[in-house]
Amino acid sequence: MYSFSFKPIINENSKILILGTMPGIKSLEMRQYYAHEQNAFWKILFLLFDEAYSNKYKIRLDLVLNNKIAVWDTLKQCQRPGSLDSDIKHAEPNDISSLIKDYHNIKTLAFNGKYAEKYYKKFNSPITGINYLSLPSTSPANAGYKFTDKLNAWSEIKQFL
């Protein structure tokens, strides 16, 4: 069975595009990026921008857009029996280069984990004028990083805003 990515969260003010690999099962069920309660993505962003944490998706969307961040995935579709990126098969990419052309303020691609970066590099050539930032995955499967280590690494995105 194939899984399909969501449309990007983006607007004309976006400067950083955060790329995951593919939404996990919980995210697909809820039709929301990073919906699994143990995924640190939203907790990290709320802390980085000194905002009160919220479970409301609309507030989460406003948080990223108001802070000039876009969110998408490197893959358009793939086969994956669960939520682990290591189990992905038959991957097909999103058209990231076209998105960047359409939203010319994006100057940084930040990868949420090594698989997002791996698939980006597999299907795309480097784009002139774009900064690339490798970040630890916010997934609970990335147990090798403590939350504080993830938060510290992710704080790098603020220098590109």
pLDDT at residue 81, rounded to an integer = 79
Global pTM exceeds 0.85: yes
- Asked if 63 contacts 45 with a C-beta cutoff of 8 angstroms, the reply is yes
Weakly modelled stretches of the chain, pLDDT under 70: 84-85
Catalytic residue IDs: 39
Torsion of CA 92, 75, 159, 100, to 10 degrees: 60
pLDDT at residue 149, rounded to an integer = 96
pLDDT at residue 115, rounded to an integer = 92
Which helix (H) or strand (E) segment holds residue 75: the answer is strand 75-79
Q: Which amino acid is at 82?
A: G
Give the span between the Cα atoms of 13 and 150, in whole angstroms.
26
Q: Which fold has domain 12-160?
A: Uracil-DNA Glycosylase, subunit E (3.40.470)
Read off the tokens for 82. Answer: 């669960």
The tens digit of pLDDT for each residue in 14-54 reads 999 999 998 888 998 899 999 999 999 999 999 999 999 99
